Amino acid sequence: MPSRSVLFILTDKMEALDTTGPATVFDMANRLLSPTSPQGHPYTLHTASPDGDKVRASGGLIIVPDSVLEGPCKTHTIVLPNAPSDLRVAAWLRDHSWRAERVVAPGGGATLLAESGFLNGVRTSTHWSSASDFATKYPKVKASGKSIFIHDGRFWTGAGFTSSIDMALALVEEDYGQKLSLKVARQIVVFLRRPYNQSQISTQLQAQITHRDSIRKVLDWILEHPRGDLSVEELARRASLSPRQFTRVFTKDTGMPPGQYVAKIRFEMACRRLANCRNEAVAQIADLCGYRNAEAMRRAFRKMLKMSPLEYRSRN
């Protein structure tokens, strides 16, 4: 089993989770594999800062690097910081990053790459709150604020924060297979390993801003009973409202009408089960998620992603 070296670049004001999250994923892969691997650790982790000094990350966390960021790059994977741009890092990337097989850029890390022209024509994920500004500033980059992370060529870009853990799990799967990636996810208590094109903001989270108890109870009912009767009439009855009044209030609180919300919830459930429950057949997942049949779920995937459920599973 080949060992892959991973260089984490550290700078002041970086988001700590975008470094410590992936580092924990790779370290856990080491701990799970090393006892049975005669070749030793699957990953060798190294940290460096532009001047070799300690950096102050988000929340005041102090991180001490292993070395100075200088000279040729002899590493398989570079992980950039989710931080304000640093001219010293940008210069080093232009001179040396071409030697690395992978460059991983969570959140603001993509800005470093875009400023140097690395991402021209590359599909790139960035945080939803800055996606519009990023696209305006770097029009040659195919930027998106929807997917939690995107892999295009040797570049892996993501929204940052917790999505960096999902991206690191995907890297482990690419390197050593799905079995190890799922073991790592379970060991670090990741509730669900999200696929790359999972939306940055789930329908459920988006709708949780409602302050009405009656609507919140309906939202909980939908999540707990995807196979149940989720018609407007039935949901309105549970909210003790007329169908017309319920539709108006529900749409105002969640930003979408009830039928659209139910369709999105069922679709997101199906995405998660396809990616994480590999032993379940498509027809079984369709039934568990409340679709009339497998064909109905297939049509939903064609509409939302322009691919079939099986294609989605094969890519995740």
pLDDT tens digits for range 154-172: 999 999 898 899 999 999 9
List pLDDT tens digits, range 288-306.
999 999 999 999 999 888 8
Q: Which residue has the higher pLDDT, 136 or 207?
A: 136
Q: Quote the pTM value.
A: 0.73
State residue 200's pLDDT score: 55
Confidence of residue 113 (pLDDT cuts 50, 70, 90): very high
Residues of the chain with CATH 1.10.10.60: 202-316
Q: What is the pLDDT of residue 199?
A: 62
pLDDT-derived band at 254, boundaries 50, 70, 90: confident
| CATH 3.40.50.880 in the chain, residue ranges | 4-187
Task: Mean pLDDT check: name the lowest of 173-177, 239-243, 295-299.
Answer: 173-177
Question: What whole-number percentage of the chain has pLDDT above 90?
Answer: 67
CATH of span 4-187:
3.40.50.880
pLDDT at 275: 81
Q: What is the pLDDT of residues 38-70, one digit of tens each?
A: 556 889 999 999 999 999 999 999 999 999 999
pLDDT at 208 over 70: no
CATH topology of domain 202-316: Arc Repressor Mutant, subunit A (1.10.10)
pLDDT above 70: residue 250: yes
| CA-to-CA dists, residue 230 to 13, 117, 227, 285, 289, angstroms | 47, 49, 8, 18, 12
